[in-house]
Structure 1
């Protein structure tokens, strides 16, 4: 994708060709550090979407017949281009989304790793041979599901798009990707790595547009066989209803409200050094961000003191400043939403021990710690998706597990303890798709990532991520 000055030339990509904004409506793109408009993204119209669907249908026939080694070669080449272009992609990511530049670089690196991993994992989409009498054969094979609609969000715009594209392409599917309109530059530059790596025309399309219009148009088409979505629970439910009309396969990662159980036997200082940076990573805009902190009574006060001290010292500012450890929120909606949740919590008796207010200029909000938050406060049931940690104490493990499992969400949960037996029990008892014990390393290429309850179903990552783009066929021969 060509670049104009600092900012990328924003375009769609359909059937092997880049298309700019001529004759199309456009939407504004903002720098969250300043609130200034920095670009206009072209929005796909109905004709664009129809062209993308036609291309994806043709591309699927070509790509599914392409040898797995050849597919893997292109994915590995794309991964190498991502690494070579890390600085350019990361700069666009920080400019559009706000996260600090070190986090942006890490996001690009993780995306490249996904492509490398799935380039190899595609070779292990094994079937099996069933036992039959002599002269008969029954086999089970795995085949690509078909063209995929991949709908990804703005908090990790490159990595979460890669989580969909890498396994889908490895499996032999064609894809129509709709990244978020807030971050078109970094996702376009990332997508260009695939095209420049030699991906055939029609195998992958990139469209931006009015989200509801795009999703309805794509999901209604018989061309689309699979929908993969990462985003909010309400939108996920809406898309599930649309997909039901065509009985389309879906993978839904719908967020959560991650509990963190802090036990008195943990190494408290080490734990604090881990949890505070994780809470404020990407300004708390992480679907598995540690948010509801339940702390054993014996260490509750020192935990609050240590957390508040660290939060107050956290450098907040433009993501390009190397001293910054937390950038702005990604869009103008987020400070308002977080301010309302904090106000409700304090009105209901919560204590503000750090932060609690928006900051001047841009979409900044202070790193915030709320203590003694009532269970009936909105923020205890609604994920803040921002730089706010909420805390309560607990008396015993039964109470801690009850609170951890209280909500209808179950994406991720965390616990800190040095008791091995307790760690095993927590892993079994907590209702979440992923549990980190003394660790936040739960999103890695070779492990499944997904939730339970209203946090969705299906997995991205690991062999399970490849499975979600494959169908099973039994062939019987007498």
Structure 2
């Protein structure tokens, strides 16, 4: 007996639609390895339709006073809370995530972030008007950039959609967003929520559009003539491709890419507390987080004790079914990602030692055991490249100078953390660590008011905060003669 697959559809100009040419792709639940839905494999006709809808809706949405856009976002946040269980179920099926953790760790911050940007809509700041030339007054206008083409990732498809649409809509832009081809379900549900709010409040239906598809669909969106801005959260390779495509007509680009966060642990650290927090920050969401605490640098005097404690913590960390409230994380997102994580373990150099884990778990789905690898050198592949899995590496450093050199000695620069009781050392490290975020004696907390974004191959532009809001606006200088 074959179970019928659920049919997901694009959301364009206020209507749910199949791909124009009828093409679909199967969507797999990573906890089972079995397909549960089909989604459109959208082509140029679908992208054209979505962009036309967003372009047509833009003038009216742009011209709303900020208080009206705030009302829309606040109602969207309320609706997220009202339909939380639907969102939780969709995201759990999308990603195989534990239901309890989606409920506690994703829904509340998403709602808070939407409400933050609802407030930001009314807080556009600029330098004061004034006379900088005799007989003339200068004014600064802050304006939306236009239609935004947005591509969301598969590790946090629901939350990353919020990070993209909330500041864009708050600033007066209209949106065409593409979820990952492996995780479209929650974004399609978000379209239903936002569409219903826009309809209720009498706003243009094309303000928010969802186009499902693969990399080719994303390329068509980025290269389309309508969007003024392209935003992507994804791999470095994808970011480079987007930047190259957008350069053909000088689109603005917002890139949040990979990470290889150093976790620098000094000898005066409370080892038990550090291990507990680092294990959680390294294994949460199966390590599929650009800021995950997966590259640990430990001062050599406490190295052995720390590794033993971390290996014990890994052995006590559970992965498993979505309805098991004792698990910390679910499966890797897809078969390709499981293959990638396995490949890093299989290619470990002879001097590396697997202290815990290192293997797939279970007979179905894409589960991987919490893993600790020690004995590594700075130029090892697993130290330099993003694993994006539940694998924590450990290196031993001699002194602060070497810790800084190794921490900064990768191509990524998104996030980092320092663990020490020495305040002066923490301040020195926060100055010299070349990362967009430095946590001290913690790792991974985020708040809506503070920016998230990196340097180097981790991309450019900020998510969250007033800085993230600024990225979706443009600056215009208006000068008027005082002669009348």
307-316 vs 217-226, which moves further: 217-226
Moved more, 89-98 or 468-477: 89-98
Q: Which position in structure 1 is the counterpart of 2:109?
A: 110
> 1:375 deviation in Å?
2.5
- Give the corresponding residue for 1:235: 238
Matching residue of 2:25 = 27
SS at match of 1:440: coil
Whole-Å separation in 2 of the counterparts to 1:103 and 1:45: 35
Deviation at 1:271, TM superposition (A): 1.0
Task: Indicate if the aligned counterparts of 2:95 and 2:155 stay in contact, CA closer than 8 A.
Answer: yes
Shift of 1:20: 3.5
Aligned residue in 2 for 1:141? 141
Matches within 5 A, 1:162-201: 162-198=162-198, 200-201=204-205
2:211 counterpart (207, 213, 218) = 207
Give the TM-score normalised by structure 2: 0.94
Distance in structure 2 (CA, Å) of the matches to 1:184 and 1:301: 44
Which secondary structure state, in structure 1, belongs to the residue aligned with residue 446 of structure 2? Answer: coil
RMSD of aligned C-alpha atoms?
Answer: 1.7
Deviation by residue 1:119-161 (Cα, 9 ceiling, x = unmatched)? 1011111233123467632101110011000111000001111
Q: Which whole-Å CA distance do the structure 2 matches of 1:376 and 1:46 have between them?
A: 43
Question: After superposition, what is the alpha-carbon deviation per residue over 1:31-62, rounded to whole angstroms, capped at 9, x for unaligned?
Answer: 11110111111222221111111111111111
Using the TM superposition, name which of 121-130 and 462-471 deviates more: 121-130
Q: CA contact under 8 A between 2:19 and 2:43: conserved in structure 1?
A: no
Match of 1:220 among 219, 223, 229: 223
> Given the superposition, is the C-alpha separation of residues 235 and 21 from structure 1 closer, same or farther in structure 2, using an over 3 Å criterion?
closer
**1:342 CA drift (Å):** 1.1
CA contact (8 A) 1:7 1:92 kept: no
Deviations 1:316-360 (A, max 9, x none): 211222222221111011221111111222x33111110011123
CA distance in 2, matches of 1:207, 1:326: 29
Distance of 1:262 and 1:472 partners within structure 2: 43
Q: Deviations 1:143-182 (Å, cap 9, x if unpaired)? A: 0011000111000001111101000000000110001121
Q: Which moved more, 1:381-390 or 1:311-320?
A: 311-320
Q: Note the residue ranges of structure 2 that are not aligned, 5 or more in a row.
A: none
Please say if residues 435 and 442 of structure 1, whose CA atoms lie closer than 8 Å, have aligned partners that are also in contact: no
Which residue of structure 1 aligns with residue 478 of structure 2? 475
Matched residue, 2:37 = 39
Specify which of 346, 354, 358 is matched with residue 356 of structure 2: 354
Q: Distance in 2 between matches of 1:463 and 1:316?
A: 36
Aligned partners of 1:162, 1:6: CA distance in 2, in Å?
Answer: 30
Aligned to 1:455: 458
Counterpart of 1:49 in structure 2 is 47
d(CA) in 2 for partners of 1:460, 1:22 = 33
2:311 matches 1:308: yes
Equivalent residue, structure 2, for 1:385: 388
Measure, in 1, the Cα distance between the counterparts of 2:436 and 2:4. Answer: 40
Instruction: Decide whether the 8 Å contact of 1:99 with 1:283 is kept in 2.
Output: no
**Which segment is superposed worse, 173-182 or 135-144?**
135-144
| Contact residue 21 and residue 43 of structure 1 kept, 8 A | yes
* 2:151 alignment counterpart: 151
State the partner residue of 2:94: 96
SS in 1 for 2:426: helix
Secondary structure at the counterpart of residue 307 of structure 2: helix
Residue equivalent to 1:17: 15
After TM superposition, give the deviation of residue 22 of structure 1 in Å.
7.6
Tell me: CA distance 1:110–1:7, structure 2 relative to 1, closer, same or farther (3 Å): farther
Residues 346-391 of structure 1: per-residue CA shift (max 9 Å, x gap): x331111100111232101110000111323211111110000000
Partner of 1:119: 118
**Corresponding residue number in structure 2 for 1:405:** 408
Q: Take 1:441 and 1:292, find their aligned partners in 2: how far apart are those partners?
A: 13
Q: 1:333 to 1:309 in 2, by over 3 A?
A: same
Any unmatched runs of 5+ in structure 1? none
How many residues are paired up?
Answer: 472
Instruction: State the shift of 1:277 in Å.
Output: 1.2
- 3-state SS of 2:320 partner: coil
1:7 positional shift: 8.5
Secondary structure of the corresponding residue to residue 123 of structure 1: coil
Quote the Cα distance in structure 2 between the aligned partners of 1:275 and 1:125.
Answer: 38
Aligned-residue offset at 1:27:
0.6
Secondary structure of 1:307's aligned partner: helix
Aligned 8 A contact 1:94 1:320 in 2: no
**CA apart distance, 1:268:** 1.1
> CA separation in 1, counterparts of 2:317 and 2:58?
48
Pick one of 74, 78, 83 that aligns with 2:81: 83
Aligned-partner SS, 1:393: strand
